């Protein structure tokens, strides 16, 4: 698991390097591992109208949804920090916000997996891994609407 986790975190860190964050200066990257082993990434995209900002996890989930892969999600890694040259700073793991937890839950319920969420610090010094159900207990999703078993 550690090898897969570390590769996923590296992909998220690479995605963070492509973030568009001119307002906060805080870059976040997400990497989604699909059941077939493919990795799909996303980075945060800020907007002058702050409410229109896209989180990295949302951008990545939108990619898999648009490709018809929403039920293929297996794991997620999230990395965030302030850019310093080619590196990211920050020693605290970055956790998904509430909106992103809900977005991830939609895909996880479709995948029928309580996905692992790897939260990593920008500088790579810390990683915390959770099951999504730990981050979003008693989640509301497609199952509550009778759309999946």
Active site residues: 57
Angle at 62 between CA 61 and CA 63, to 5 degrees: 90
Q: Which of 74, 72, 46 is nearest to 58 (CA)?
A: 46
Phi-psi region of 62 (alpha: psi -120 to 50; beta: other; left: phi over 0): alpha
Q: Which of 122, 132, 130 is nearest to 91 (CA)?
A: 122
């Amino acid at each position: 698991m550690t090898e897969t986790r570390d590769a996923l975190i590296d992909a998220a860190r690479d995605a963070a390097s492509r973030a568009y964050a001119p307002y906060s200066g805080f870059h976040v990257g997400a990497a989604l591992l699909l059941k077939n082993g493919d990795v799909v990434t996303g980075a945060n995209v800020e907007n002058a109208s702050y409410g229109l900002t896209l989180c990295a996890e949302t951008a990545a989930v939108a990619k898999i949804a648009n490709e018809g892969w929403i039920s293929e999600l297996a794991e997620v890694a999230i990395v965030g920090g302030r850019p310093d040259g080619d590196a990211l700073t920050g020693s605290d793991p970055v956790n998904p916000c509430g909106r992103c937890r809900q977005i991830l839950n939609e895909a996880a319920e479709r995948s029928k997996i309580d996905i692992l969420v790897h939260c990593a610090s920008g500088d790579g010094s810390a990683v915390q891994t959770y099951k999504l159900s730990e981050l979003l207990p008693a989640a509301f999703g497609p199952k509550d609407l009778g759309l999946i078993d």
